[in-house]
A and B are shown apart, each in its own frame.
Chain A
Amino acid sequence: MSNKRVYSSLTKKYVMSLMGLFLITFLFVHLGLNLSVLKDLGSGDYPTFNEAAHFMATNPFIQVFQWVLFAAFLIHIIFGLILQFQNWASRPKGYKVKGSAEENIFSQYMIHTGIVIFIFLVIHFVNFFMVSKGIIPGIQHVKINGEEMENLGKVIVDVFHNGYYVTFYVLALLLLGFHLDHGFQSAFQSLGLQNKKYGPFIKGLGHVVAIVLALGFIIIPLVIYFTK
């Protein structure tokens, strides 16, 4: 019954954790950028947001880094799936009475929240990234401080006027919050950066990170939708 694995279970967990924490730092940058659109509401040109988005889209460092980001997403997803399939295979027959001793209910559903977030990511990619790059046509241009740039702010506000999309967005981001609530402290545990003394602090910080990110992203479509 040889079951030799290419990477040990622990190595895969290290990779999952590092990619996960990296993606969290990205989410904070992304949130900061998104919140600036609220400042511009009613302007039509969305100067703060468009300028920031334009900087991100043209800065050579960010351009290179964006591929690192794609790679991190891909690795996190692929390793997550491999680990999950192995986990399912480790218990071919389940229990009649399911256990429920998990400390955090969300820890049972990482693969499920992960799949919804992935679907969201694909839709998100089509709606915003591909439109901003002109792969999907229709983006308008504005002149801000004498420089011509894409009016990405308008794309966002238009999309967030659609009630169905806002509902889906809010639900997906809630699930992201659940995913992070377990994921954040889990990453520290997997990397061995947890003990009796700092453990509670890391778990508490994980709750804060999850709530700040989820609510931060959710507020934006809600404000846009209800003030249109």
Chain B
Amino acid sequence: MDLKLKIWRQNGPDDKGKFVDYEIKNISTDASFLEMLDILNNELIEKGEEPVAFDHDCREGICGMCSLYINGHPHGPDAATTTCQLHMRRFKDGDTIVVEPWRAKPFPIVKDLIVDRSAFDEIIQAGGYISVNTGGVPDANTIPINKGKADLAMDAAACIGCGACVAACKNASAMLFVSAKVSQFALLPQGRIEAKERVKKMVAKMDELGFGNCTNTYACEAECPKEISVTNIARMNREFFAAKVSS
């Protein structure tokens, strides 16, 4: 298949940046989106041009490194799919594909389509951990945990921290990410001990970094490649309220 690409090119954080048009031919419908970009980059290198910089690592949909805002959707048009798992059969021959980086003040552009997502690491460092030693695997089985809660905690822990929620949100809010990280601990007895301090610190860090406020549009849930539920946001709202009034 032949495609027209409109890709955001930006030399560095301070560069103004602009869209550049590319045409690419003979792409297999079985190629992944990132493989298509690899082919484009090979062609650019052969021509002596600078290849397009984009983030990627595992290419198995589990690491959270790939990003890309494709035709108005973080991770492209497929639901519950990361960019690396998106395939070219999803597009039609002759399509124009617009590829943009995540846009959010706390995610500054490093180069082209790569943004610095260390703001998420800072939020995790603020409280997304447990300080107690929970022992080895057999010890975990000595604490009975309600199956429903364990499932909810696992669902929340499926978040790969890619930042699609921030990219999708009209306010560039990080609430889905932060609430997933708060929930995965708050639902389990090992995480309850520090729950109040955790939620206060993580929310304060999220605000400080300049992420927007949640207006409950649920675009984040619709675009999340791991289908993290906005009920986590409701849970974090409860947790934060309880923490504020009781400590």
Residue positions of A touching B, CB distance < 8 A: 1-5, 8-14, 83, 86-87, 89-104, 107-108, 110, 182, 185-186, 189-196, 199
Contact = CB atoms under 8 A, between A and B. Distances in A.
B70 to A, nearest CB: 9
Contact of B244 (A1, A11, A182): A11
B218 interface: yes
A86 B169 CA distance: 13
Contact of B105 (A8, A12, A92, A98): A92
Interface in B60-79: 69, 71-74
B103 A99 contact: no
A90 B104 contact: yes
B207 interface: yes
Interface residues of B, number: 50
A10 B105 contact: no
The 10 closest A-B pairs by CB, nearest first: A192-B238, A90-B212, A192-B237, A87-B171, A97-B72, A101-B222, A101-B219, A90-B172, A186-B216, A107-B217
A185 B217 CA distance: 10
B233 interface: yes
B100 interface: yes
Interface string B169-196: 0111100000000000000000000000
B172 A101 contact: no
A102 B218 contact: yes
Contacts of B217: 102-104, 107-108, 182
A99 B231 contact: no
Interface string B134-168: 00000000000000000000000000000000001
Chain A, interface SS category: loop
Nearest to B212: A90
Interface of B: 6, 19, 69, 71-74, 98, 100, 103-106, 168, 170-173, 203-204, 206-219, 221-223, 229-231, 233-241, 244
Nearest to A97: B72
A4 B208 contact: yes
Contact of A103 (B214, B218, B238): B218
Given A4-B208, A9-B213, 20 more contacts: A1-B209, A3-B209, A8-B207, A10-B241, A83-B215, A90-B105, A90-B172, A91-B172, A92-B105, A96-B100, A99-B72, A99-B168, A99-B223, A102-B219, A103-B217, A103-B218, A186-B215, A192-B237, A192-B238, A192-B239
A13 B214 contact: yes
A90 B83 CA distance: 24
A92 B171 CA distance: 10
Contacts of B211: 90
Given A8-B207, A96-B98, A185-B216, A91 B104 contact: yes
A90 B238 contact: no
B202 to A, nearest CB: 11
A196 B233 CA distance: 12
Contacts of A3: 207-210
